[in-house]
Structure 1
């Protein structure tokens, strides 16, 4: 069971992690916790790990936890959400976005145990559903000006937006489409595909070199020699992914 704690207060995240660690509800359960202080960091964790449960604060500095809750509905799978907040007047809205539970600060062990027990029961019941397994879609259809081309997703090396057009590159070809980077990110759900700039996404397994660039950023040289700039806000996560 993989649990993500999203709260802009480190002390609140720490307290919640401590109570989860002590919970009798998880006594015989293998679990791992992750922390995020904002929506962007939470999105990064969701790209790298299949999160089962999110404890989500509502007030995240200038952001709102409901923004992330709405985005989660668009995923191919939806982690369970437990709102963990100091505000008691958002409960109705929370359950309108299919939240599993609503826990108020200051946290109490008994209340966290109840929420975890409810989450565990829900997760354990999911495999019993008689829905047919969905086939994994390994192909990407790219709409060009005069035709559609189909490539294997694993063949994508990099994709960059320039002047409103998205260029998708493989080892030997480039395809220019009017589709957006958001459209591509929704298709490329494997952990190896990572956004490294507001206009770029790469296959981290195809990075050949990382070179210093202007303003303390980096320039990626891909295996097909395409060059991709790394945005400053993506530097830390990329460094962690590459062990730098």
Structure 2
């Protein structure tokens, strides 16, 4: 199980960071546990009981700051990947001497956090297939993202259309769009498609795995650009 820590003296930032990390790891199908610490001293004491692999460490903390905390971790021969969190990027240059992997600037940009997290997972050789997690009364369903052709909304009901089955759950398509990768693109107020399955754009119609779906005028330009970029990868 992947062991992570978030060390920040402000709870609101710990919560924001934890929410994004949890969503991404759930999508990746990786088992994990996140431990929170509110100070450098608390982290140094608690790390003796936990075999941490990734530490998100705030630099600007009272008393023992993040840089000093990281130095003490390295003095203790701790090899966890350290990702600094800071409101002032200038401080980040001090991270080289403690072999920090990367840094994140407050206020958080979810895409940056996801990128840095995946860099850490690759370093730990923990990358795996991504999933979309559907919570239902009778249990949790993990749908491989690669199998999803598109999401379509009917008021508050979302239908997940895959190459073999359709799942239903309650959500907003706009919220769903914000959580997914760039491979999923909005083509209409009711449709969010996976570019992998987009065969062609024919006027105001998207042909998705042989099925014709409508393209709204407001989405057409962004869809064309996204499709062109995807085809170049």
Give TM-score, length-normalised by structure 1: 0.48
Task: Indicate if the aligned counterparts of 1:25 and 1:117 stay in contact, CA closer than 8 A.
Answer: no
**Separation (CA, whole Å) in 2 of partners of 1:77 and 1:93:** 18
For structure 2, which runs of at least 5 residues remain unmatched after alignment? 127-233
Task: Indicate if the aligned counterparts of 2:83 and 2:100 stay in contact, CA closer than 8 A.
Answer: yes
Between the two proteins, the alignment pairs up a number of residues equal to 125
Task: Indicate if the aligned counterparts of 1:59 and 1:65 stay in contact, CA closer than 8 A.
Answer: yes
Task: Indicate if the aligned counterparts of 2:59 and 2:84 stay in contact, CA closer than 8 A.
Answer: yes
Residue 60 of structure 1 corresponds to: 61
Change (3 A) 1:26 1:54: farther
**Separation (CA, whole Å) in 2 of partners of 1:16 and 1:34:** 12
Residue 124 of structure 1 corresponds to: 125
Residue 221 of structure 2 corresponds to: none
Residue 88 of structure 2 corresponds to: 87
**Separation (CA, whole Å) in 1 of partners of 2:15 and 2:4:** 13
Task: Indicate if the aligned counterparts of 2:41 and 2:69 stay in contact, CA closer than 8 A.
Answer: no
Residue 15 of structure 2 corresponds to: 14
Structure 1 stretches of 4+ with a deviation exceeding 2 A read 74-77
For structure 1, which runs of at least 5 residues remain unmatched after alignment? 126-244
Give TM-score, length-normalised by structure 2: 0.51
- Per-residue deviation, residues 187-244 of structure 1 (Å, max 9, x unmatched): xxxxxxxxxxxxxxxxxxxxxxxxxxxxxxxxxxxxxxxxxxxxxxxxxxxxxxxxxx
**Separation (CA, whole Å) in 2 of partners of 1:55 and 1:17:** 10
Could you tell me how far 1:11 is from its partner in structure 2?
0.4
1:30-179 correspondence runs (5 A): 30-124=31-125
Task: Indicate if the aligned counterparts of 1:20 and 1:112 stay in contact, CA closer than 8 A.
Answer: yes
Change (3 A) 1:19 1:30: same
Change (3 A) 1:62 1:95: same
Could you tell me how far 1:108 is from its partner in structure 2?
1.6
Change (3 A) 1:37 1:10: same
**Separation (CA, whole Å) in 2 of partners of 1:105 and 1:76:** 29
SS in 2 for 1:124: coil
